[in-house]
Amino acid sequence: MKYLKIRPSDLPYTAGLAVGVVYLSINEAFFVFVLASLALVFGAMYYCAKVMPVLEETIGHRISIWHVGVLVLGLTMVLGMLQPANALFLQDLENRVTDVIAGTGSALPADSVALIFDFLRVTFVLFVVAAGIFAFVQAQQGNDPRPIIGTIVIAFGTIMGVDVLTVLIAGAG
């Protein structure tokens, strides 16, 4: 407990958190999967920030944010060529908006709706990547990256909330 910096007064909250995670893993396995994935990503960012000075000393060169950005973009391009990505978030909302526009006889073509939602998806992904890189830089400089990470979590929560509300209000499909 000394390693985790848990005080005895934190034990009831820790137990409550553990019970909540067990309850959610039984009833909402996908939600726990998403939370675990986010924890894995941000945990990896934490350890990367810890390893970066050691890596800089090993190779004898300073690693800047531009190096990390080029590495991420290069890997994204190479892996993107292997299999195309399909962003499924906001898909139900896109389908509903397309159905409404088709049902009203509007002059707006369905391709425009798809283009608008693709723009929203790309904007969201770029925001998350930029915020992740900024949080990494903040951690490297010794600043507190938690507010930025909180913003990323809020963004994911907003997208998930919109998807859930779309399914609850308009139904899946």
Give tens-digit pLDDT for 106-148: 777 878 888 888 888 888 888 888 888 888 888 888 888 888 8
User: At a CB cut-off of 8 Å and minimum separation 6, what does 32 contact?
Assistant: 21, 24, 25
**Tens-place pLDDT, residues 59-107:** 787 777 667 767 777 777 776 666 555 557 788 888 888 888 887 777 7
Query: Are residues 24 and 104 located together in one domain of the fold?
Result: no
Nearest Cα neighbor of 49 from 137, 130, 129 is 137
> Into how many domains does the chain fold?
2
* Global pTM value: 0.47
Alpha helices, H only, 60-109? 65-82, 91-104
Q: Is residue 152 in some structural domain?
A: yes
- Domain encompassing residue 147: 86-173
Q: Is residue 77 in some structural domain?
A: no
Query: Are residues 33 and 114 located together in one domain of the fold?
Result: no
Query: Are residues 122 and 48 located together in one domain of the fold?
Result: no
